[in-house]
Amino acid sequence: MPLERSAAASGGMPAAGHRPGARSGALDTDLGAKASRGGGWRFWGAAYTLLILLTGTNLPTPLYRGYEAEFGFSPLVVTLIFGAYVAVLIPSLLVAGPLSDAVGRRAVLLPAVALAALGSLVFALAASTEWLFVARVLQGLALGAASGTLTAALTELEPRGNRRKAALVSTVVSVGGLGLGPVLAGALAQYAPAPHVLPFVMELVLLAPAVAVIIALPATRSRTRWRPRRPEIPAAMRGVFATSGTAGFLAFAVIGLSLTLIPAYVATLSGSANLLLGGAAVALTLGCSALAQLLVYGRPARTLQMAGLPLLAAGLVLLALAGTLASLILLLAAAVLAGIGHGLVFLGGLTAVNRAAPADRQAEVLSGFYVTLYLGVGLPVIGVGLVTTVAGLLTAVQYFAGLTALLCLAMLLILARTRHDTRSVPHGGAG
């Protein structure tokens, strides 16, 4: 899906039709100008906030095996805990995105950070399986409120109005947080005292600067009063949203598997109970995703997605073979390929949607896009958990990998036959 190249090629100069100082949609405050006057520190502060929130929500990943042993539950319960997180995250996204467009980013983000802190506190004090469900629900509400809102804020706060750069920072920070959480928690749980407490205390400390950043965000006012409404994507960009959202769903299905069952898969193949090893395998996938995004920055969104989908499929095939051959080396190679594929698909999809979204509905559209991603994270993993109870972990992962690889190739064929031109979509004067 071709993109206008003018913004990227000119270092983020506004697209044709943009009038300096013009108001965009419902927001009365020119956030980009204020960020520029502030030297861009608010932009990077918003990126830090997103990073820390995502890090916190992924701290439990390498700890689930310990919780299983302590509280006596099965891998299916792990996927249900994760499913509860996604189940509240999605409605939170749908409500918070449009709400922040109307009442301002700060009014939504402060309660989101408070919920994230409360979720970490419940994890630190967890005394039974029920506590884990409560903690994940709190984290889901927090991240749902913050994801679309912070992504929209990054677009608004980028000093030169460069939406492509804002999309890159958002995707790199997102996968960085997804990967950083398991590594930090795995290292602390393996080598430090209080393995189920210390990681969440660290998260509470890291959230304090995020609060200061949010308080310093520019104030916004809305010309229209917010009211609950059915989620809706502007008609002019529905084709872009459908293809990018479907590809993103498949990419994040792989991430959902990594965040729930891959640590146990690694332990089965390696014969090692080292918690850092499982967390590092997850981080390898996400690290390759972030690195790939940095290396391909500036390329057209459609090109990125069409390059990423076959890599994602190849990584999934290797993941299935790793279980058949009991090969940890193949598993690591699968993590690298799947990570690169994920990074290209995610960056391409978010770039396309970000540039196509009207400025006055930016957070609403981005929240809708994140809904498709988190559905990908949550729904397939629950299916894998159910298959695990019948066929075992290795077989369940192999079934998932084979089916998802086929769907990636089918999506590649659809993209090859579909072209959307984001230049036809009104941006409300946004660059």
Amino acid at 289: S
**DSSP label at 13?**
P
E strand or H helix at 418, and its extent?
A: none
280 assigned to some structural domain: yes
Mean per-residue pLDDT, 396-420: 89
CA 49/CA 127 separation, integer angstroms: 29
Compute the average pLDDT of residues 202-208.
96
Q: What range does the domain containing 339 cover?
A: 31-222+234-422
What pLDDT shows up at residue 1? 34
232 vs 416, higher pLDDT: 416
Helix axes 393-416, 301-325, angle to 10 degrees: 160
pLDDT at 229 over 70: no
Q: Does the residue 24 lie in any domain?
A: no
Secondary structure string (H, E, C) spanning 211-248: HHHHHCCCCCCECCCCCCCCCCCCHHHHHHHHHHHHHH
Work out how many domains the chain is built from and give that number. 1
Highest mean pLDDT (candidates 190-194, 281-285, 415-419, 420-424): 190-194
pLDDT score of 46: 92
Dist. CA 332–CA 326, nearest whole Å: 12
Quick check: is 427 in a domain? Answer: no
pLDDT in tens, 33-66: 444 334 488 899 999 999 999 999 989 988 888 8
Residue 167 belongs to a domain: yes
What is the structure's pLDDT at 344?
95
Q: Half-sphere exposure of 379 toward its Cβ, with a 13 Å CA cutoff?
A: 11
Q: How confident is the model at residue 378 (pLDDT cuts 50, 70, 90)?
A: confident
Quick one: average pLDDT of 120-130? 95
- Residue 225's pLDDT band, with cuts at 50, 70 and 90, is low
Residue 155 within a domain: yes
Domain presence at residue 15: no
353 pLDDT higher than 70: yes
- At residue 222, the pLDDT reads 55
Instruction: Examine residue 239 and state whether it is found in any structural domain, yes or no.
Output: yes
Q: Report the interhelical angle of 262-270 vs 301-325 (nearest 10°).
A: 40
Alpha helix (H) ranges present in 261-300?
262-270, 275-295
Q: Which residues pair with 27 in a beta bridge?
A: 222
CATH number of domain containing 106: 1.20.1250.20
DSSP string covering 357-378, please? S-GGGHHHHHHHHHHHHHHHHH
The full length of the chain comes to: 431
pLDDT at 212 over 50: yes
Identify the band that residue 13 occupies on the pLDDT scale cut at 50, 70 and 90. Answer: very low
Greatest Cα pair distance, the chain, in angstroms, is 62
Provide the mean pLDDT of the chain.
81
- Is there a contact between 138 and 122 (Cβ–Cβ < 8 Å)? yes
Distance CA 99, CA 107 (A): 9
pLDDT for res 214: 92
The arithmetic mean of pLDDT across residues 346-354, rounded, is 89
Quick one: average pLDDT of 105-115? 93
Select the highest-mean-pLDDT range: 29-38, 129-138, 417-426: 129-138
DSSP class of residue 155 equals H
**Mean pLDDT value across residues 220-244:** 73
Residue 1 and residue 423 in contact, taking contact as beta carbons nearer than 8 Å: no
Residues 151-160 have a mean pLDDT of 86
Residues sharing a CB contact under 8 Å with residue 147, sequence separation 6 or more, in sequence order: 50, 93, 366, 367, 370
Which residues does 308 contact at the CB level (< 8 Å), separation at least 6? 247, 251, 340, 341, 342, 343, 344, 345, 346, 348
Average pLDDT (106-114) is 93
Neighbour count for residue 208 (Cβ, 10 Å): 11
pLDDT in the model for residue 341: 95
pLDDT of residue 105: 87
Q: Is 271 exposed, middle or buried (0-12, 13-18, 19+ CB in 10 A)?
A: exposed
Place of tokens 């044709």: 16
Classify residue 353: in a domain, yes or no: yes
Measured CA to CA, the distance from residue 385 to residue 22 in angstroms comes to 51
| Cα dist from 149 to 109, 183, 395, whole Å | 7, 26, 39
* CB proximity list for 10: less than 8 A, separation 6 or greater: none
